[in-house]
């Protein structure tokens, strides 16, 4: 697979998001997850994304156990700052918590160093400078190589970057989620920070494989997301129908078209489509070599323009925890 620059790192054009191997999208079978991880490395994926939150440590342990003999083949990204307390999700980016989480992650991942370590979310109770200072200490100690931020505003990014250079920012970005176009992308470009779009396939909506929410398990996180509910979901499916002729004309799948659109936005974007299945690891990899005309990519982008997509990307209770632009 082709490579791209991500800040100071060099990684494959596509990374592999590993979250679904542990949570959020129905049952994950261990054997299939193991095959998917190995197949990704065989195909040239060199960038794996996990977090302490995913499966409350399960995801990191999975990677550490399955890929211990292949650690030199990939750049490892993980995250700290979100955990569970009394069964509830909490954001905790206090310096002592950041450092303890890193120690726990290193142990689970079976590694001496994490290549890219993100703050998973901004903690509004802790100055960002203090959290970044703790991460800088981990860099100095040789426990992490580079620092990243996830789902942060441009204001937070600038404050953090003054404290210590930020290597990459990760945010949801896809045909149907354009929020980072409001200041974050320009900020990253100005400061030389890499950008990692997560959910570049719209949590599988853009693959065309989801047309009946009743087919998903009750605990699937998409069951609570407005874009997947009621009239909003029906409307968004109609938009997706307009995308199908473009994919057909280019002899590619909807997923490959959606990934090609993200990849074409900037040569320094490294999307991390998530999957727990070998067939999707393979399908997604092929998107890195697609050549689609600017006209078709522009048409695809217009179909899913922000003002045409219905429904928020998270439930209201989750949206208020995000770091808004000023």
Catalytic residues: 54
Residue 222 in contact with residue 195, Cβ under 8 Å? no
* 5: Cβ contacts below 8 Å, ≥ 6 apart: 194, 268
Give the Cα-Cα-Cα angle 197, 201, 206 (nearest 5 degrees): 150
| Residues β-bridged to residue 114 | 144
Q: Cα–Cα distance between 288 and 12 in angstroms, integer?
A: 9
What distance, in Å, lies between the first and last C-alpha atoms of the chain?
Answer: 39
Residue showing tokens 């896809």? 174
The H or E element spanning position 309 is: none
Q: Cα–Cα distance between 252 and 248 in angstroms, integer?
A: 6
């Amino acid at each position: 697979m082709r490579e791209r620059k991500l800040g100071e790192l060099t990684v494959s054009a596509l990374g592999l998001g590993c979250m679904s191997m542990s949570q959020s999208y129905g049952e994950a079978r261990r054997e299939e997850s193991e095959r998917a991880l190995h197949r990704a490395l065989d195909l040239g994926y060199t960038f794996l994304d996990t977090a302490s939150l995913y499966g409350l440590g399960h995801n990191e342990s999975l990677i550490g156990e399955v890929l211990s003999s292949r650690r030199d083949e990939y750049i490892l990204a993980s995250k700290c700052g979100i955990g569970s307390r009394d069964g509830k999700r909490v954001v905790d980016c206090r310096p002592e918590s950041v450092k303890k989480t890193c120690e726990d992650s290193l142990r689970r991942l079976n590694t001496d160093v994490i290549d890219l370590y993100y703050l998973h979310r901004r903690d509004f109770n802790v100055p960002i400078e203090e959290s970044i200072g703790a991460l800088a200490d981990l860099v100095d100690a040789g426990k992490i190589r580079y620092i990243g931020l996830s789902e942060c505003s441009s204001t937070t990014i600038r404050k953090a970057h003054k404290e210590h250079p930020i290597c990459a920012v990760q945010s949801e970005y896809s045909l149907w989620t354009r929020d980072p176009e409001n200041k974050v992308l320009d900020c990253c470009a100005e400061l030389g920070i890499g950008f990692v779009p997560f959910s570049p396939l719209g949590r599988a909506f853009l693959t065309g494989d989801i047309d009946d929410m009743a087919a998903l398990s009750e605990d699937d996180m998409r069951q609570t997301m407005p874009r997947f509910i009621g009239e909003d979901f029906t409307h968004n499916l109609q938009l997706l129908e307009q995308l199908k002729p473009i994919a057909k004309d280019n002899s590619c799948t909807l997923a490959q078209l959606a990934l090609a659109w993200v990849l074409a936005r900037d040569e320094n974007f490294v999307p991390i489509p998530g999957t727990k299945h070998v067939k999707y690891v393979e399908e997604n990899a092929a998107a890195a070599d697609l050549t689609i005309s600017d006209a078709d990519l522009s048409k695809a982008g217009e179909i899913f323009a922000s003002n045409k997509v219905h429904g928020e990307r998270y439930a209201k209770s989750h949206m208020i925890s995000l770091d808004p632009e000023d």
